[in-house]
A = this chain, B = another copy of it.
Amino acid sequence: MVSDHDEMSDSDSARVTIKDVARAAGVSIATASKALNDRGRMMVETRQRIRDVAASLGFMPNAMARALVSQRSFTIGLLTNDTYGRFTLPVAAGLSEALIDRGVSVFLCAFEDDAERAAINLRSMQEKRVDGLVIAGKRIDRGLPIDLPRLPMPVVRVYSLCRDDEIGFVPDDLEGARSAVNHLIACGRRRIAHITGPTSFHAVRLRAEGWTEAVEAAGLPLLAGPQFGDWSEAFGYASGERLLTLPASERPDGVFCGNDQIARGLIDALTLGGVRVPDDVSVVGFDNWEVFAKATRPPLTTVDMGLNELGRQAGLTLLDLVAGKPVVPGVRRLACRLVVRSSCGTRPL
């Protein structure tokens, strides 16, 4: 049987309270509190002695007691419907990293798109008195399947739909797309196609717009326009097979794909059909999902959305809000970053 944790020795830190520290140091509780929190004025030796005693006793302040009086729990909730964390995980990593240094911990509430579970999680966060909420989604044009009835705490959104009076962080898809296309152009490509996901996604429309703008700005042809499909490797593969049926003169020499999976499928089909990447066709992806991007043959040049940074910024902004600092509402579009690998060949200097 396992019960180590309740056969406590005297040094059991969880049970040491500030009262024990005060007694051991021969001071009052109030003084102990002040010494440990570096507040008020007192003799340096007294302060140091109290701290030494606390350390030797293994004292750890009870955050819940502290929260009760300070009305700050030093916790926040991360609500997401992205259970498998394709987007949320990098966001969560950036978020907690930024917050842990400030003593705040994050509750992870992930639920499939199930309104009831969402409500349970939300209620739980309210009872636990989180200082704020980060709401993270898996697309920028959808909210979560809960309405948030005037929550009594600040909310920040990440990679999710965001009303004008709310605060949100999303990647700058438009600029990311432009940089992908400009890279293809810099690599000497002139016939640049765009193969991407379903038009119902706002991200798809933004990326297509970026493609259009950059292609037109360079005075190049828009070819057949963006090819919309779904986000899968299978669609990329099918698109590749279609390109193979084109006469070589009508084939694009560069393809900007809406995500890495499409790019992967496309490259596989081209390779199998004897078209060389990047020699014959350059390909750029979107997402920098490393497990895909690095494993593609050749490794994929792709656009990184900076999800980590999105999480970090969201966390810091939420903290500002909690502290009562004024924050301008609206959505922030954070810069994407092109990660160059080998699928476009070398950019001429």
Contacts and interface: CB of A to CB of B under 8 A. Distances in A.
A295 B126 contact: no
B108 A2 contact: no
A329 B14 CA distance: 23
Contacts of A145: none
A326 B271 CA distance: 59
| Copies, count | 2
Interface stretch (A176-184, A192-200, A231-239, A335-343): A231-239
Contacts of A3: 324, 326
A56 B55 CA distance: 47
A326 B1 contact: yes
A291 B14 CA distance: 43
Interface in A211-236: 232-234
A42 interface: no
A55 to B, nearest CB: 12
B68 A14 contact: no
B73 A64 contact: yes
A127 B89 contact: no
Given A2-B329, A154-B5, A103 B78 contact: no
A1 B268 CA distance: 50
Nearest to A322: B5
Contacts of A297: 237, 268
Given A60-B123, A128-B63, A272-B272, A152 B110 contact: no
A129 B105 CA distance: 12
A24 interface: no
Name the interface size band of chain A: 35 or more
A121 interface: yes
Given A15-B152, A84-B89, A100-B109, 7 more contacts: A5-B152, A14-B126, A83-B93, A85-B85, A96-B109, A96-B110, A97-B117
16 contacts: A1-B326, A1-B329, A5-B321, A60-B127, A63-B129, A64-B64, A78-B108, A84-B93, A85-B89, A103-B124, A105-B124, A106-B107, A107-B107, A261-B295, A265-B295, A268-B297
Interface of A: 1-6, 8-9, 12-15, 60-65, 67-68, 73-75, 78, 83-85, 89-90, 92-93, 96-97, 100-101, 103, 105-110, 117, 120-121, 123-129, 150-155, 165-167, 232-234, 237, 261, 264-265, 268, 271-272, 291, 295, 297, 321, 324, 326-329
